[in-house]
Amino acid sequence: MFGPRIRSRYDSRARIPLKPVELNDFRDFLKTKPKNDPDSSVMYIHIPFCSRLCDFCAYTKIIGEESIIKLYVQKIKQHIKQLSNYAQFKEKVYSAVYFGGGSPCYINTQYIREIIEVIQDHFNLQNDCEITAELTVEDIQAEKLDQLHRSGINRISVGIQSFNTKARQLLGRIHTQEDILERAELLKESAFETICTDLIYHPELQNKSEWKDDLSYIKSLGFSGFSLYPLILFPNSKLSQNGVFSEADIQVEYDYYRMADNYILNLSGWDSITPHQYGLFDENTSEYILKVAEQSDILAFGCGSGGRIENYQYVITNDVNAFIQNPDNSFFADMSCFSVSKKYYNVSNLLLLPEALKIGIQESKQFPDKLRYNFDYLKSKSLIDETEKNYYLTQIGRFWAGNIADYLRSEIIKLFS
């Protein structure tokens, strides 16, 4: 039913019907109090620095130098303080803060601590607020882990991509399987209870037996959250430009996906949270991911980040040097802002289905019939199924989630055009 698989959720998100908004209008909106008693929100901080640049990576990042990092952190702290003065945020409670990158732990941990302190001083954080930092294998050092824990980080997401040495070399990663297993011992001995990881699959990276081995480490090393990605050949990444990998056959890609999905869902206590993410559900190890999937507000700071406050969305420039060098230190200086048109307000929740994997049957009844018929159509293709309470994505539906999002968005646009 679909054309090429949409592998990156960012590709499908780009189709959300949005219209540009003047920054002054966005500022005026932020001066108002939230309309409803708000549920807890989450915060994202982008730290775009790495020690070296990986071949497959398309994220916003540069090689970090101390003088630049210092200026960047100063700006972030200023932005956090500035935003805290707006009425929109005075009474909001934040249940998760996420440091993403780049490699947030590449910068001196003192900087992370300073940012967390500014957030704690200016925003209401829930008592058990989840504070995550992404970590590279390189950063897994006993002292660093201890410093991070003492700075307030309580959840670690370590980017491994594959435990297989050959696959790692193909991705331009320098650490071998032995290095990772050695460092995994440090993770086990650390004070962190919630440690998550990610793996990337592609038939030219691992054969199926090697993929099975990769997956087995999720249990044996005691991870409590896991992100699963196909290898995406982003046009601006070195990996795509050097032509080492070909586009995977879709049936073979599905076989790899299904092996991983079956493996994880058979682990005790694990469930899928989004089409790409899984976690130990009972232990609530993925507050940030859950909230983002449920379309909660995201207050985002830093280069290349994107935030969402009610019906407004904003993106901050991904040009790190321009961001740092801009003499205007305002949060709004390097930003573009958009809003969802009013006509879409009542139907935008339809997109919870491909993002949060389910939508309430009761809730779906509020949609116009023309949109509700899509549920029957998706069901006839075995992409969704239903329980008494919910429509939910099937295993094959989760594999095609990006395309389902795209399809539903285009149906919404058609309905109102």
* Contacting positions for ligand SF4 (CB under 6 A): 50, 53-54, 57, 59, 61, 101-103, 136, 159
Cα 317–chain centre separation? 18
CA 12 to CA 374: how far, in whole Å? 18
CB nearer ligand SF4, residue 171 or residue 352:
171
Angle at 67 between CA 62 and CA 73, to 5 degrees: 75
Q: Which one-letter DSSP state was computed for residue 350?
A: G
Query: In 3-state terms, what secondary structure has residue 246?
Result: coil
CB nearer ligand SF4, residue 130 or residue 139:
139
CA 307 to CA 312: how far, in whole Å? 8
CB nearer ligand SF4, residue 159 or residue 354:
159
Distances (CA, A) of 124 to 84, 91, 118, 373: 10, 7, 11, 42
* Distance of closest approach, residue 171 Cβ to ligand SF4, in angstroms: 9
Give the number of other Cβ atoms within 10 Å of residue 67's Cβ: 8
Report which of 309, 297, 312, 307 is spatially closest to residue 21, judged by C-alpha positions: 312
CB nearer ligand SF4, residue 33 or residue 52:
52
* Distance of closest approach, residue 217 Cβ to ligand SF4, in angstroms: 19
CB nearer ligand SF4, residue 196 or residue 378:
196
* Distance of closest approach, residue 392 Cβ to ligand SF4, in angstroms: 32
CB nearer ligand SF4, residue 244 or residue 396:
244
* Distance of closest approach, residue 348 Cβ to ligand SF4, in angstroms: 30
**Helix (H), strand (E) at residue 271:** strand 270-272
CB nearer ligand SF4, residue 10 or residue 377:
10
* Distance of closest approach, residue 177 Cβ to ligand SF4, in angstroms: 18
* Distance of closest approach, residue 320 Cβ to ligand SF4, in angstroms: 12
* Distance of closest approach, residue 223 Cβ to ligand SF4, in angstroms: 18
Question: Residue 38: phi, psi to the nearest 5?
Answer: -75, 145
Distances (CA, A) of 93 to 37, 84, 248, 296, 410: 11, 12, 43, 12, 34
* Distance of closest approach, residue 255 Cβ to ligand SF4, in angstroms: 26
For 110-161, the DSSP string reads HHHHHHHHHHHHHSEEEEEEEEEEEEEGGG--HHHHHHHHHHT--EEEEEEE
Tokens of 235: 């046009």
CB nearer ligand SF4, residue 55 or residue 255:
55
